[in-house]
Amino acid sequence: MIRRFFAPGRVNLIGEFTDLAGGLALPAAIHLGVTLTVEPADELDLRSPLGDLARSVEAVVAELGRPPEPVRGTLSSTLPAGAGLGSSASVHVVLALALGGLEGLELAQVAQRAERRALGVPCGILDQAASALGADGHAVLLDFATLRHELVPLPEGLAIVVVHSGVARRNAESGYVLRRRELEEGMPARVRHVESESGRVRGVVDAFARGDLPRVGELFRAGHESLRVDFEATVPELDRLVELAYAEGAVAARMTGGGFGGAIVALVAAEDADAFAARMPGASWVTRACGGAREL
């Protein structure tokens, strides 16, 4: 019997790099993602037209700690790579789902450990948790100190628009590793970012609950400033794009994801979202909060 498994990408609404230091974040799963189609076979044989999957498959099997049922299959993706939408996390989530039948936080944890093993990047658990735990119309409030998570309903009538800066996330991995080390060493500006960012996550959750969209806009703007000045993870193209997004009518906008290039996220009135995306330079995706990893 043929089975199909889907793991979404994610957009982080706010709470950047907080997963490296026990803070808070508020990501959402999106409609774009990876699909793995499998059928029973004599041996495990999974492929992707996008590149070699062997290391990821090996890492997931090792982290599951037991040999999976042998299947053969192919991965396909609607997620742009290198846009900061969690494409590599969704690959490991879909593999852990299809081969291990895991769900929820356990799925996210196995996928995170597998990704670290396969790619050698000391990533946090933001992307995998968003992909595993997402729900239609909701963001996921994550507390990385306890791994407690809670669904937060998003205001009706708001679309999520992701706009790529055109700057590939080149050298992003070395930047990420460096920032992680600086945080561990307690560098004041880096720690200040993570602490103030967790406060902004709480503020955004409260403002959503009150329907106070101007406050959400202020907090996103302050979050981007903190990433620019204290965490130094933005690039000028991202800074300009955020300014432009507000000028073009976004309710809120900030850089999103691992930084050093990649994309911004903007919250835009749903009826204006397509026109807004067309007014912004570069590639963009109009999306909304969607369900997490699942069998189709």
Catalytic residues: 127
The window from 15-23, 60-68, 133-141, 211-219 that contacts ligand GLA (CB under 6 A) reads 15-23
User: Residue 259: which residues within 8 A CB-CB, separation 6 or more?
Assistant: 16, 17, 84, 169, 172, 175, 176, 227, 231, 233, 234, 238
By CB under 6 A, residue 260 contacts ligand GLA: no
Cα–Cα distances (Å) from 5 to 76, 114, 128, 169, 232, in that order, read 11, 18, 15, 28, 37
Residue whose structure tokens are 């503020």: 203
The order of strands in the sheet holding 252-256 is 252-256, 263-269, 158-164, 284-287
Strand partners, 256: 263
Strands 45-47 and 71-77: parallel
Which of 100, 203, 217, 257: binder of ligand GLA (CB under 6 A)?
Answer: 257
- Give the residue among 129, 78, 122, 76 at the shortest CA–CA distance from 102: 129
Q: State which residue, 108 or 216, has the beta carbon closest to ligand GLA.
A: 108
By CB under 6 A, residue 197 contacts ligand GLA: no
Q: State which residue, 19 or 237, has the beta carbon closest to ligand GLA.
A: 19
By CB under 6 A, residue 19 contacts ligand GLA: yes
Q: State which residue, 73 or 203, has the beta carbon closest to ligand GLA.
A: 203
Show contacts with ligand GLA in window 116-175 (CB under 6 A). Answer: 123-124, 126-127
Which of 20, 132, 204, 264: binder of ligand GLA (CB under 6 A)?
Answer: 20
The least CB distance from residue 232 to ligand GLA, in Å, is 14
Please tell me the total number of residues recorded for the chain in this structure.
296
Cα–Cα distance for residue pair 204/280, rounded to 1 Å? 24
- Give the residue among 193, 82, 85 at the shortest CA–CA distance from 134: 85
Q: State which residue, 45 or 173, has the beta carbon closest to ligand GLA.
A: 173
The least CB distance from residue 17 to ligand GLA, in Å, is 5
Which of 33, 100, 203, 258: binder of ligand GLA (CB under 6 A)?
Answer: 258
Which of 5, 17, 208, 260: binder of ligand GLA (CB under 6 A)?
Answer: 17
The site for ligand GLA (CB under 6 A) is made up of 12, 16-17, 19-20, 123-124, 126-127, 257-258
